[in-house]
A and B are shown apart, each in its own frame.
Chain A
Amino acid sequence: MMASSYNAKEEDGHPSGASGHGGPGVVKSKKPDNTAFKQQRLPAWQPILTAGTVLPAFFVIGLIFIPIGIGLFVTSNNIKEFEIDYTGVDMDSPCYTCAKNSSWNNTTPCTCSVDFTLEQPFESNVFMYYGLSNFYQNHRRYVKSRDDSQLNGGRSALMEPSKECEPYRKTDGVPIAPCGAIANSLFNDTLELFHIDSNGSRNAVPLVKKGIAWWTDKHVKFRNPGGNNNLTLAFQGDFSKPVNWRKPVYELDPSDPENNGFINEDFIVWMRTAALPTFRKLYRIIQKKSSTTPTLPSGKYTLDITYNYPVLSFDGRKRMILSTISWMGGKNPFLGIAYITVGSICFFLGVVLLIIHYKYDTRNNSADIPN
Chain B
Amino acid sequence: MDFTLLRNIISRYCVGEENWVDSRTVYIGHKEPPPGAEAYIPQRYPDNRIVSSKYTFWNFIPKNLFEQFRRIANFYFLVIFLVQLIIDTPTSPVTSGLPLFFVITVTAIKQGYEDWLRHKADCSINECPVDVVQQGKVVRTQSHKLRVGDIVVVREDETFPCDLILLSSSRHDGTCYVTTASLDGESSHKTYYAVPDTMAFRTEQEVDSLHATIECEQPQPSVLICEFLHVFYSCRPLGAENLLLRGATLKNTQHIYAVAVYTGMETKMALNYQSKSQKRSAVEKSMNAFLIVYLCILISKAVINTVLKYAWQWSPDRDEPWYNHRTENERQRHVIRAFTDFLAFMVLFNYIIPVSMYVTVEMQKFLGSYFITWDEEMFDEELGEGAQVNTSDLNEELGQVEYVFTDKTGTLTENNMEFIECCVDGNVYIPHAICNGQILSAHLLCFSQEHEDLFFRALCLCHTVQVKEEETVDGIKRGIHQGRPTSFYISSSPDEVALVEGMKRLGYTYLRLRDNYMEILNKDDEIERFELLHVLNFDSVRRRMSVIVKSSSGDYLLFCKGADSSIFPRVVSGKVEQVKARVEQNAVEGLRTLCVAYRRLSESEYAEACHHLTEAKLALQDREQRLAQAYDIIERDFVLLGATAVEDRLQEKAADTIESLHKAGMKVWVLTGDKMETAAATCYASKLFRRSTQILELTKKRTEEQSLHDVLFELNRTVLRQHCLDFGLIIDGATLSAVLKPNQESAGHGNYREIFLEICRNCSAVLCCRMAPLQKAQIVKLIKASKEHPITLAIGDGANDVSMILEAHVGIGIMGKEGRQAARNSDYAIPKFKHLKKMLLVHGHYYYIRIAELVQYFFYKNVCFIFPQFLYQFFCGFSQQPLYDTAYLTLYNISFTSLPILLYSLVEQHVTMETLKREPSLYRDIAKNSLLRWPVFLYWTCLGVFDAVIFFFGAYFLFDNTTFTSNGQMFGNWTFGTLVFTVLVFTVTLKLALDTHHWTWINHFVIWGSLLFYVIFSLLWGGIIWPFLNYQRMYYVFMQMLSSGPAWLSIILLITVSLLPDVIKKVLCRAMCPTATERAQVGC
Interface, chain A (partner B; CB < 8 A): 1-24, 27-29, 31-34, 38-51, 54, 61, 65, 68, 72, 104, 125, 127, 129, 131, 135-149, 152, 162, 164, 166-168, 181, 184-185, 211-214, 216-217, 220-221, 244, 269, 272-282, 285, 310, 313-315, 323, 325-332, 334-335, 338-339, 342, 345-346, 349, 353, 356-357, 360-361, 364
Contacts and interface: CB of A to CB of B under 8 A. Distances in A.
A329 B1046 contact: yes
A27 B975 contact: no
B962 A331 contact: yes
Contacts of A20: 111, 114, 117-118
A40 B1081 CA distance: 17
A7 B391 contact: no
Given A49-B1070, A181-B325, A310-B322, A330 B1025 contact: no
A49 B376 contact: no
Contacts of A273: 972-973
Nearest to B954: A338
A29 B90 contact: no
Given A44-B1003, A49-B1066, 16 more contacts: A3-B493, A6-B180, A11-B183, A32-B373, A45-B999, A61-B1056, A138-B876, A185-B322, A214-B1036, A221-B1032, A276-B960, A278-B961, A282-B969, A325-B963, A330-B963, A338-B1050
B182 A12 contact: yes
B970 A269 contact: yes
A7 B184 contact: yes
Given A11-B182, A166-B327, A313 B321 contact: yes
B539 A3 contact: yes
B245 A32 contact: no
B737 interface: no
21 contacts: A3-B540, A9-B274, A20-B111, A21-B392, A48-B1082, A51-B1067, A127-B963, A131-B961, A135-B323, A136-B324, A140-B90, A140-B876, A162-B1030, A214-B969, A220-B1036, A278-B961, A282-B968, A332-B957, A335-B1053, A346-B1060, A356-B1072
B1067 A6 contact: no
Interface stretch (B143-151, B685-693, B795-803): B795-803
Interface string B547-587: 00000000000000000000000000000000000000000
B710 interface: no
Nearest to A34: B376
Interface stretch (B508-516, B604-612, B877-885, B1006-1014): B877-885
B40 interface: no
Contacts of B1035: 216-217, 220-221
Contacts of B1046: 72, 328-329, 332, 335
Contacts, number: 383
A7 B1082 contact: no
Given A313-B317, A325-B967, A8 B272 contact: yes
A129 B968 CA distance: 9
A329 B877 contact: no
| Most chain A CB inside 10 Å of its own CB: which residue of B124, B496, B1071 | B1071
Interface in B367-419: 369-371, 373-376, 379, 381, 384-386, 388-393
Interface in B52-104: 52, 90
A15 B975 CA distance: 52
Contact of B390 (A19, A146, A282, A330): A19
B275 interface: yes
A100 to B, nearest CB: 16
Interface residues of B, number: 148
A157 B376 CA distance: 66
Interface in B339-372: 369-371
Contacts of A49: 994, 1063, 1066-1067, 1070
A13 B121 contact: yes
Given A275-B972, A325-B963, A7 B492 contact: no
A138 B1053 contact: no
List 4 A-B pairs, minimum CB-CB distance, nearest first. A185-B323, A2-B538, A329-B964, A275-B976
Contacts of A147: 1030
Given A2-B538, A364-B1074, A338 B370 contact: no
A38 B268 CA distance: 39
B1053 A314 contact: no
B375 A3 contact: no
B799 A7 contact: yes
Given A24-B370, A141-B324, A152-B1025, A14 B118 contact: yes
Given A72-B1049, A269-B970, A325-B967, A330 B879 contact: no
A6 B970 contact: no
A199 B386 CA distance: 100
B660 interface: no
Interface of B: 52, 90, 111, 113-114, 117-118, 121, 124-125, 180, 182-184, 186, 188, 190, 223, 245, 247, 268-269, 272-276, 317-318, 321-330, 369-371, 373-376, 379, 381, 384-386, 388-393, 464, 491-493, 495-496, 537-540, 545, 798-800, 802, 818, 821, 824-825, 846, 875-877, 879-882, 907, 909, 912-913, 954, 956-973, 975-977, 994, 997-1003, 1025, 1030-1033, 1035-1036, 1039-1040, 1044-1046, 1049-1050, 1053, 1056-1057, 1060, 1063-1064, 1066-1068, 1070-1072, 1074, 1079, 1081-1082
B158 to A, nearest CB: 15
Given A49-B1070, A138-B973, A2 B493 contact: yes
B371 A38 contact: yes
A321 to B, nearest CB: 9
Given A14-B121, A181-B323, A331-B962, A349 B376 contact: no
A279 B1070 contact: no
Contacts of A149: 1030
A353 to B, nearest CB: 6
Nearest to A10: B824
B183 A8 contact: yes
A314 B391 CA distance: 63
A13 B969 contact: no
A332 B970 contact: no
A141 B526 CA distance: 106
Given A14-B121, A181-B325, A8 B184 contact: yes
Contacts of A125: 968
A32 B52 contact: no
